[in-house]
Amino acid sequence: MYKFIVKGGRRLSGEVSISGAKNASLALMPAALLAPGIFHIKNTPDLRDVATMSRLLETLGAKVTLDGKLQTIDTRGVKNFEAPYELVKKMRASIYVLGPLLARYGYAKVSMPGGCAWGPRPVNLHIEGMQKLGAEVTLEAGYIVARAKRLKGTHISFDVSSVGATGNIMMAAVLAEDTTTISNAALEPEIVALGDFLNKMGADIRGLGTPTITIKGVKELNPVDFESLPDRIETGTFLIAGAIAGGNVRAVNCEPDHLSALLLKLEEAGAKVQSGKNWIELEAPEAIRPVDVSTAPYPGFPTDMQAQWIALMALSTGSSVIAETIYFDRFKHVPELVRLGADIEVKENVAVVKGVRTLKGAKVMSTDLRASASLIIAGLVAEGTTEVLRIYHMDRGYERIEEKLRGLGADIERVQSDEF
């Protein structure tokens, strides 16, 4: 086990290079199951979740290697169609293999994903979508078992915007007979990237990035080379770190257009933000102004930035209201921030943050990926030393975060810890 030791009080300045998007890779990798052959995916991040998805594809018979940022997936040996509980419980995105296996092999057996730190994470939209495409789906001893001779296109409308369900249904529909339309589809850039990847493989998908996606089924798809997009959540995390610690942070190899909601809020909070084709520069505010936020599906303020935003608001000059509309109870980071001296009250899905003048270092515990990020951000400015435990959560979604933060001047190191 490891923990981070963060010594507060260092201003951040300099340049940080953004890695490939975790949530794009977790969709692109299973999509490769739709065609036999060798795929090369550039700008793939070296993360625990990417390693977990690699292991899952290998249990299905594929070969996956990552050389620097270049991932190679060889799907010619795929002959098993079961995603075991041991892997799915580590990562909910494992459910993404359901659509491709069903579409290509007519059979898939995928463990039901467990919940996570912030409440249940249903997959009813995934299952109902597959059934509407003509699959027979049963639940057997904790596994989703899906069968279909050939899927048949239809109209699917999601009652909530779902990134995962949009991606899974898109991957199921590309080889189906006729045409599938998805209404209330997710607009997230990672889903657009998945659609671009599938189209490059020979699919016929239109409307990507809009609420209505149309997928005309094709007979077969081919392996391709592709370049994944930068991680907008990693980018936002470093910008908030710069805003809270003071100084001037420049994120490069990023995509400013994917972060407009956050950049506007950072400017409202008093930061000076400039951006270009693939860079964003942030000058920290003298004083952090309180700014209310309500999370929303893309292009709204991302739920994956909510925890980091609360950390920033903990040191603002007033009160701010942060509403979490995507998940209920995604506030596990709040009690840990309160241990650092933050003044935050949570009622149902709303956190009211009263800014304080200082935070004081303490031992805190990560509960999930983005919560860990908020604790590190707070530790950058807390007086004294903050120890962040259970940082395996961080390694799921941030590539070498301590190296990148040290490169900006932070005093953070990873040490062995026997504390769980």
Q: Tell me which amino acid residue 61 is.
A: G
Identify the residue among 87, 98, 163, 172 touching ligand EPZ (CB under 6 A).
163
Check residue 328 and report its DSSP letter.
S
Binding flag, residue 185, ligand EPZ (CB under 6 A): no
Binding flag, residue 75, ligand EPZ (CB under 6 A): no
For ligand EPZ, which is the closer residue by CB, 125 or 378? 125
* 254 included as an active-site residue: no
* 286-315: contacts with ligand EPZ (CB under 6 A): 303-304
Identify the residue among 14, 65, 77, 160 touching ligand EPZ (CB under 6 A).
160
Binding flag, residue 397, ligand EPZ (CB under 6 A): yes
Q: At what angle do helices 369-381 and 306-313 cross, to 10 degrees?
A: 20
Whether the ω angle into residue 113 lies within 30 degrees of 0, i.e. cis, is no
Binding flag, residue 229, ligand EPZ (CB under 6 A): no
Nearest distance from C-beta of residue 36 to ligand EPZ, angstroms = 25
Closest by alpha carbon to 84, among 105, 57, 63, 62?
A: 57
How far apart are alpha carbons 273 and 288 in whole angstroms? 14
Binding flag, residue 369, ligand EPZ (CB under 6 A): yes
Q: Residue 320 forms beta bridges with which residues?
A: 353
Nearest distance from C-beta of residue 160 to ligand EPZ, angstroms = 5
Nearest distance from C-beta of residue 309 to ligand EPZ, angstroms = 14
Question: CA 202 from chain center: how many Å?
Answer: 26
For ligand EPZ, which is the closer residue by CB, 34 or 123? 123
For ligand EPZ, which is the closer residue by CB, 95 or 249? 95
Identify the active-site residue in 5, 38, 116, 338. Answer: 116
For ligand EPZ, which is the closer residue by CB, 12 or 123? 123
* Ranges of H-type helices in 106-152: 124-132
How far apart are alpha carbons 171 and 31 in whole angstroms? 7
Q: Could you tell me the two tokens for 306?
A: 């909510």
Q: What share of the chain is helix, strand, coil (3-state, %, to 5)?
A: 35, 30, 35
Binding flag, residue 133, ligand EPZ (CB under 6 A): no
Binding flag, residue 341, ligand EPZ (CB under 6 A): no
For ligand EPZ, which is the closer residue by CB, 232 or 250? 232
Identify the residue among 31, 64, 108, 123 touching ligand EPZ (CB under 6 A).
123
The answer to whether residues 98 and 123 touch, using CB atoms and an 8 Å cutoff, is no
Q: Quickly tell me which residue has 């793939």 as its tokens.
A: 44
How far apart are alpha carbons 19 and 198 in whole angstroms? 22
Q: Residue 179 forms beta bridges with which residues?
A: 216
| Active-site residue list | 116
Residues that bind ligand EPZ (CB under 6 A): 22-23, 26, 92-93, 121-126, 160, 162-165, 303-304, 326-327, 369-370, 397
